[in-house]
A and B are shown apart, each in its own frame.
Chain A
Amino acid sequence: MHALIPALQIHGLAKAFDGFLAVNGLDLVVPAGQIYALLGPNGAGKTTTLRMVTGLARPDAGEISVFGVDALADPIAAKRLIAWLPDEPLLYDKLTPIEYLAFIAGLWNVPAADAEPRAEALLKRLTLWDKRDSRCEGFSRGMKQKLALAGALIHEPRLLILDEPLTGLDAAAARSVKDILLEQVAAGGTVILTTHILEVAERIAQRIGIIRAGKLVAEGSMAELSAGRAEGTTLEQLFLELAQEDIPA
C-alpha cells in the first residue's frame, strides 16, 4: 500500500517573485524508492520548487503532498519526512561535527539511543570521524558538504532532497556521496536531486524530469526520454534539445 503512495506529488504549483513567474503551474509526481533527477537550465525554477517542498518558501498556488501528507496544511508532519541539502552547506563554523549532528538530531527529535551510533557510523562512512572534535571553521568545502550530508541523514529521512550535491567534492567524495544515495534508495528511501552534471543524472537516476521556465517539459526514465531518437542519444543531447524548444503556452 505504502509503495503506491508517491514520495512527492505536486499539482499546479506556482510562485512569482516581483512579477517574474519562477514556477508556473508545475505538476510533478516522484514515485517512492527511486532517485529522481530534476534538471533544467539556470533560472528554470528547480531550486524554488524544492524550497517550496521543504517549507522554506510559500507557494502562490498549488498543492504539495509528501508521502500523502499535505505539506501546506501540515508542514511539521511533512518536514519530519524530509531532509534538505542545498548547494551551500547549512553549517555552524564554531561547532564540531559531533555537536552539529547532536544539534540536528535534537531538531528532528531523534532519541539519543538512535542518534549517537548513527552519528558515529555516518562520520566514519564519510571519513570525518577523525575530525569529530574539530570545529568546522577549518574544513574544506568538500568536508563541509560531507558533514551537511551526514546532518541530512541523521534523522533517516524518507525523502532526501539535494540541490547540486556534488559541488566542490573531489572524485572520491563524489563517489562516496553517490554510493550513499544509492544505498538510501536500496533501503527504501527516495532521493530528489538537481545537478548540472548530466552524466551523474544519467548514471544514477531512475527517472529524470526536465523543467524549463517553471514548467515540466519532459519526464521519464532515460529509455523513455530517448525513445524515438537516434540510438546512443545521451542525456546531454536530449537536455540541450529540450532546453531550446519553445514551451507550449
Chain B
Amino acid sequence: MIALARPGSLPWLVLHDVRVKARGREGRWGRIIAMLLLALLPIVGGAVMAWRVRGGADLPLAALGSVGAVLLGMMLVMVSSAYAHVLRLGRDRGELELLLTAPLPVARVVAARVAGVQAVVALPFLLLTAPFFLFSAAFGHVTWVAGPLVVVSVALVATALALTIATLLDRLLGPKLAKLVAQVAGVGLAAAVFALGQAPNFAPKWFDAQLAFFSQRPPAPFDWPAQAVFGPPLPLITVLGLALAASQCSAWLAAGRMEAAPADPTAAPHVPRRGRVVRFGGSATAVLFGKELKLLGRDPELISQIGQQLVFMVPILALIFTDGLVTPARLAAAGVFLAGALSSSLAWLVLCAEDAPDLIAAAPLRPGVAIRAKLAAALTPPLLMVSVLALVVLPKSPVAVAVMLPMALVAGLASAAMQAWTQPPARRSAFRKRYRSSLLMAVGEFVLLGSLAGATRLILTGSWWTLAVLAVPALMLAGVWWFRPKPAE
C-alpha cells in the first residue's frame, strides 16, 4: 500500500509507521481473523440499535446527557491510551533520527508521528461506534454521519491533552519520574475503570444513582459535543474547530518533545543512596532470594501492574461472596485464590523473566538451588498477604486458618509450577502481555486456582466433594507436566 503514496509525503510517512508497527508480530493472521470477528459484533449490534431508533427525532434531547457522559468516559480512556503512545514519541530514536536526517521537512515527520498516535487512539472507538451512526444515516437520520467525526475529534483533543500533561509532568518531575507516574497512573486508571464496571454487581444502588446523575442534560454550551454527534451545524463546526486547534497544538508540543526527549528516560542516572550497607558472604540461596526481592521491590511500575491483575480477580471474589455473606470459610477460599494469583505473577517474574539466566546457569550451583531460592522469593509476598488475612480470621475460626495457610502454599506452588512448565523465557517488560499468546493458559490458571479455593471451602464445610474438586488441579498439573515443552538450552 505504501507504494501508492508519493515517497516522502505525509501519507507515505504514516504508512511507513503503520508497516513498521504491524510487522514482526507472531500470529498476525490469527489476530486479524479474531479482530474481524470482533468487528462483526459492533456491525450487527450497530445495525440492530440503528433500526430500533430509526423513528425518533434527529436531535434526541433526552439522550444528550447520556451521550455527553459517554463522550467524557471515552475521552478519559483515550487520554490514557494517547499518553502511553505519547511517552514513546521521540524515544524510539534510532528510526526517528534516520527520518530527521532525511531531506524532509521536520514538521512533516512530526505530523506523521502525531497522526499515527491520533489514529491508534481513535480507531477502537470508531470501530465500535461508526456502524451505528452509518446505519442510522441509512435508516433516515442522515445528519448522524457526524457521529464518527465527533469521535475522531475527541481523539484529537485527547491526544493534545495527553501531550500537554506529558510535557507538564516532564517539566515538573523530570522525564524519568514523569514516566513512572504516568505508568502507575495508567495502571490505576485501568483498574479503576474495571472496578467501576463491577459496581453494578457489588453496589447496584450507588451505581444507579451515579447513572441518573450523569444522564442529566448539561446546560448549553456544555452539551454541544453531545449535540454535535447528531449533526446540528453550529455545535458540529465548533467541535471540529476545537479538534483542529487541538491537532495543531499537538504538532507543536510533539515537535518540542522530539527535540528535547532523551533516548530513554530510564537512562537518566539513578540518585544513589550513600551509606547503604551491602552484606557480602551470603550463601547462594540467600543472595538469590535477596536479589529477587530487591528486583521486585525496586520496580514500582511492575508492582502497580501486579496490583492491577489482582483487581482483575474481583469478579471471581464476587462468585465466592455471591450472596454477600462473609464467613471464615469463604475468606479462607478467597485468601487461597488471591495467594495463588499473586504467586503466579511473581513466579513468572522470577522464573521466566530472569534478566541474566546465563549468569545463574554458569554459576557452580547444585541442581535445584536456584529454583528453590527463586520459588521462596515468589511465595514470600503471597504468604505474607495471607498471613495478614489469617490474623483477621483467627479469632473467629482457627480451623479456617489452619486450612487456609497450607492451601495457600499449595496454590502458590501449583501456579508457580504452571508458569515454570509452560511459559518461555521473556523480558520483565513483557509481564502484562504474558498471556496474550495463550488464552488456554490464562483459563487454566483460573480453573486451577478456582478449584483450590473451592476445595478450601469444602474442606471447612466437611464435604466429601473435596476429594473430587482436588482431583481437578492434580490432573491439570499432571497434564501440564506431561505436555510441557522440552527445556531449551
Contacts and interface: CB of A to CB of B under 8 A. Distances in A.
Interface residues of B, number: 38
B6 interface: no
A112 B272 contact: no
Contacts of A107: 284, 287-288, 359-360, 363-365
Contact of B294 (A84, A95, A119): A95
A112 B287 contact: no
B291 A79 contact: no
Interface string B254-283: 000000000000111111111010111111
Given A55-B362, A107-B365, A115 B280 contact: yes
Given A99-B294, A133-B276, A138 B268 contact: yes
Contacts of B276: 96, 133
Contact of A92 (B268, B283, B355, B365): B355
Contacts of A133: 272-274, 276
B388 interface: no
B489 interface: yes
Contacts, number: 114
B358 A86 contact: yes
B248 to A, nearest CB: 36
B268 A56 contact: no
Given A92-B295, A138-B268, A103 B287 contact: yes
B489 A56 contact: yes
Contacts of A92: 291, 295, 355-356
A133 B278 CA distance: 10
A84 B270 contact: no
Contacts of B267: 137-138
Given A58-B489, A92-B291, A99 B278 contact: yes
Interface residues of A, number: 46
Interface string B347-366: 00000000110111111111
Given A92-B355, A102-B279, A116-B280, A55 B287 contact: no
A90 interface: yes
A103 to B, nearest CB: 5
Given A56-B361, A133-B274, A138 B280 contact: no
A45 B90 CA distance: 39
Contacts of B271: 134
B433 interface: no
Contacts of A137: 266-267, 270
Given A91-B356, A105-B280, A135 B270 contact: yes
B299 A94 contact: yes
Interface in A106-122: 106-113, 115-116, 119
Interface in B364-405: 364-366
B268 A102 contact: no
A82 interface: yes
Interface string A75-93: 1110110101010001111
Contacts of B21: none
B355 A106 contact: no
Interface string A180-221: 000000000000000000000000000000000000000000
Interface core residue of A77, A111, A134, A138 (most chain B CB under 10 Å): A138
A54 interface: yes
Interface in A44-86: 54-58, 75-77, 79-80, 82, 84, 86
A56 B357 CA distance: 10
A94 B288 CA distance: 14
B269 A134 contact: yes
Contacts of A98: 278
B298 interface: yes
B286 interface: yes
A245 to B, nearest CB: 31
Given A76-B366, A94-B294, A95-B291, A138 B278 contact: no
A84 B360 contact: no
A108 B369 CA distance: 13
A13 B270 CA distance: 45
A57 B489 contact: yes
B362 A93 contact: no
A203 to B, nearest CB: 28
A79 B364 contact: yes
Contacts of B286: 106
Contacts of B284: 106-107, 109
A78 to B, nearest CB: 8
Nearest to A106: B287
A84 B362 contact: yes
A112 B280 contact: yes
Interface string B162-204: 0000000000000000000000000000000000000000000
B355 A108 contact: no
Contact of B272 (A96, A105, A110): A96
A46 to B, nearest CB: 16
- Which of A57, A82, A92, A101 counts the most chain B CB atoms within 10 A? A92
8 contacts: A93-B355, A95-B294, A102-B280, A107-B287, A116-B280, A133-B273, A135-B270, A138-B268
* A-B pairs, 5 with minimum CB distance: A112-B281, A106-B287, A133-B272, A90-B356, A79-B364
